Amino acid sequence: MIAEIISIGTELLMGQVLDTNAQFLSRRLSALGVTHQRRSTVGDNPVRLKETYAAALGRADVLITSGGLGPTGDDITKSVLAELLEEPLVVREDALARLKERFSRMNRVMPESNIVQAAFTKDSIILPNENGTAPGAIVPCDRFGAGKIVIHLPGPPAELEAMFDASVAPYLQKRSGSALVSRYIRIFGMGESEAETRVKDLTQGSNPTLSPYCSPGEVMLRATALCSCPSEGAAMLAPLVSKVRDRLGDVVYAVEETDGGSLAKTVIALLIDKHQTLSVAESVTGGMLSSMLVSVPGASRVYAGGFITYMNERKEAFTGVRHETLTRYGAVSEPCAIQMAEGALLRAGTDIAVSVTGCAGPDSDERNTPVGQVFAGVAVRGRAYAKALRLTGSRQHIRALACLHALNLVRMELIKGDASALNE
Amino acid sequence: MIAEIISIGTELLMGQVLDTNAQFLSRRLSALGVTHQRRSTVGDNPVRLKETYAAALGRADVLITSGGLGPTGDDITKSVLAELLEEPLVVREDALARLKERFSRMNRVMPESNIVQAAFTKDSIILPNENGTAPGAIVPCDRFGAGKIVIHLPGPPAELEAMFDASVAPYLQKRSGSALVSRYIRIFGMGESEAETRVKDLTQGSNPTLSPYCSPGEVMLRATALCSCPSEGAAMLAPLVSKVRDRLGDVVYAVEETDGGSLAKTVIALLIDKHQTLSVAESVTGGMLSSMLVSVPGASRVYAGGFITYMNERKEAFTGVRHETLTRYGAVSEPCAIQMAEGALLRAGTDIAVSVTGCAGPDSDERNTPVGQVFAGVAVRGRAYAKALRLTGSRQHIRALACLHALNLVRMELIKGDASALNE
């Protein structure tokens, strides 16, 4: 089964909107084992859209469109295809009823112009939209070849993603008669090439497969089984995932069924599991580390908060860093990181505290600390330590990497009881 | 002049990489006044790439490719075009010398495989790459029509963006014989439709033009003049920008020559200008507000840091919120926001302090505070106030909007001396 994606909307060509839908659909098609060879982006122009439809239907079995299902004159996705198929768009009473009901739930009367959102060619399968007004559709296009279809999805990402997962993925799986089940193996603390070398022989298999899966600033592996049902897939994947864990050890911080994990999520889950509380003292990261923790729903059960000591003198005032530590070693130093963590532990009254201090650039500080020099510290009752890091990249990238390293120190402390013994 | 973009790389079709290059190029083409009607994405497949080149060269004057200029067998961008043009790729000694020099600066010997990066068809204009090894090129394709060209750019965004701005933009401007000069007018505190209504008549002009420019969570207008040189453009734009400022008032927080501003940048600049220092007390935003401030280089001159009081009892401990305030009004309340700001002001010893407390969901808190209820507070010596907000969207979106509202309160305090008098 060969698929193509057509992203529709002049706002995409103007660069006003970043096409995250195309990436979402590409990942899902790849996870479903559907071959995806081309993607086209066109504006709200009937002539060019028609040409694009015709060319793509000549090549592919399944076309997926995103956007252009709204009620205005610019929304031509359905009508241009109907014209190409030489079939009229007919208002479907079931879809119209759902649309009217949606408006009445919002205490609004449906404008006349929205009726067009309930109109489809006659054999279309209508896909309900849980997050917006525009229904999607699976439109048979047999005149271009037996079994060929176009799948219309709405443009807003929340609507498109929910509709794909609820209606399109099961349809495509059923059609192909098989299922693809995956495990996402998330890694921190080992480079991509090192990780790949250690599992190289495991990546040679044809079913299940194991392959690197890129994500900015992260290393991930994906194990995927082609199978007849999810439980069979789970059974096929378990021994492979177990081998990967054996080869890589503690750098594997999560194994999940979907691509939605993060180090912060793992840390919050570990804290809950072990009944521990956490606080932070941040300098160079300036709240970014805390914000990552707070982005996890439920964080307030175990994450207390902390201190942002951006100006040096606040390191003394907020976290009790000693004045002579700052004058002797500077703010970007191991002793300062340790004292920041100790101060947060004491003042926030948590079981663990983590600190970050460093220089993210663009310029060195007044002590000529090199850009990218960072120290992350951890304190627990009776014990504290810090790790020196040399990070590279832009100011934002250095800050983000520093947060991930700090989160990983907390993770190692939680699973080992002493992350200070860690090798690099 | 009609342009098309071709994004090349199997990693794009697999969804491993989000195509931010396409958005960057689209925005730049639009700013340069170049018509851009289609975009294609293809993998590292010679047959499909050749078809895509031929079809696009049939329609457009300028094709811009991104990706596939590396030294490996997968990198086919130049060779497939050369084949279509029936011209050989020839190693260019100037490009080879620069490439070798780059490797020697990194203390590495250039691998033999990299020589191909210095090979181009004979009339190509080579574009230097300041941030990587792969040079770009402007390749004449007159056999498809007089003056037609293909512009090859490297895939990594930092390399592509710098090369476009340094080499491609001036080339396209020179070719079109005119310049486009823009001003980006950034707005906070007024909805898009309200802002558009107030300047509607100004958007009818043909040169200079004024049009809405979408950016997630923000409202922006772009004024653009088609002119013969930048100084002429500046003179054409000044009266238009001045009229927009008159119509919209204080909601205009920045007018800039490029699309790179932010509320945090404006706030840091105002603080520096007015010799004031700032601290924060964050609950629901959990460090995100602080992180936005720290993302501005030079923030440490005026931004002290602050307190993350994520668990309720830390609101008392860190910022001195009174216990009875929490029991009587709850943590998501006007009195709590005011006391958080007052506490940060006192304990951080700054001229201004800003606070945020609220409920971002996914669930209501134990007092049944509705998701999206947020209070932002400001304290200066002798005076404090808070603003109630009702925000909608996902947990992350509510948190980000809360940060922007808090930053805007600080901005208004700095320009007016009392933002509490503001109307909604």
User: pLDDT by residue (tens digit) across A341-400?
Assistant: 999 999 999 999 999 999 998 888 888 899 999 999 999 999 999 999 998 878 888 999
Residues 303 through 362 of chain B touching chain A, CB cutoff 8 Å: 303-311, 314, 317-318, 347-349, 361-362
**Nearest residue on chain B to A29, alpha-carbon basis:** B14
- Across B151-157, average pLDDT: 94
Share of chain A above pLDDT 90, in %: 66
Check B294 against A306: CB less than 8 A apart: no
Provide the pLDDT for residue B393: 78
Q: Which residues contact B69 (CB under 8 A, 6 or more apart)?
A: B75, B77, B78, B117, B134, B135, B136, B152, B153, B154, B155
Q: Are A61 and A147 in contact (CB under 8 A)?
A: yes
The 10s digit of each residue's pLDDT in B317-329 is 899 999 999 999 9
Identify the residue among B12, B25, B291 best suited for mutation to test binding to A, counting A beta carbons within 10 A and taking the highest. B291
ipTM of the complex: 0.76
Contacts of B156 in chain A (CB under 8 A): none
* Residue B353, C-beta contacts closer than 8 angstroms, at least 6 positions apart: B278, B279, B280, B281, B306, B341, B342, B343, B344, B345, B378, B379, B380
Residue B48, min C-alpha distance to chain A (Å): 8
Residues A106-158 pLDDT 10s: 778 888 889 999 999 999 999 999 888 899 999 999 999 999 999 999 999 88
For position A14, what pLDDT does the model report? 84
Q: Does B298 touch chain A (CB under 8 A)?
A: no
Closest B-chain CA to A11: B214
pLDDT at residue B261, as a whole number: 82
pLDDT band at residue B215 using 50, 70 and 90 as cut-offs: low
Q: Please indicate whether residue B144 or residue B107 has the higher confidence score (pLDDT).
A: B144
* Nearest chain A alpha carbon to B27: A15
CB contact under 8 A, B308 and A306: yes
Summarize pLDDT for B319-372 with one digit per residue, the tens: 999 999 999 999 999 999 999 999 999 999 999 999 999 999 888 888 889 999
Contact check, Cβ <8 Å, B30/A41: no
Does B141 score more than 50 pLDDT? Answer: yes
Nearest Cβ partner of A42 from B38, B41, B317? Answer: B38
Q: Using CB atoms, which residue from A297, A299, A362 is nearest to B297?
A: A362
Q: Tell me chain B's radius of gyration from C-alpha atoms.
A: 27
Q: In this predicted structure, what is the pLDDT of residue A230?
A: 82
Interchain CB distance below 8 Å, B25 and A12: no
The reported pLDDT for the residue numbered B217 is 62
Indicate whether B421 pLDDT > 70.
no
Average pLDDT, chain A: 91
**Alpha-carbon distance A92 to nearest alpha carbon in chain B (angstroms):** 31
Q: Is the pLDDT of residue B216 over 80?
A: no
Prediction pTM value: 0.78
Distance from C-alpha of A177 to C-alpha of A179, rounded to nearest angstrom: 7
- Please judge whether A23 and B18 are an interchain contact, meaning their C-beta atoms are less than 8 angstroms apart: yes
Determine whether the interchain pair A41/B39 forms a contact, defined as Cβ–Cβ distance below 8 Å: yes
Check CB contact of B36 with chain A, cutoff 8 Å.
yes
DSSP state of A74: T
| pLDDT reported for residue A215 | 60
Contacts with A14 from chain B: Cβ below 8 Å: 26-27, 30, 36
A259, pLDDT greater than 80: no
| DSSP conformation letters of A293-323 | HHTSTTGGGTEEEEEEE-SHHHHHHHH---H
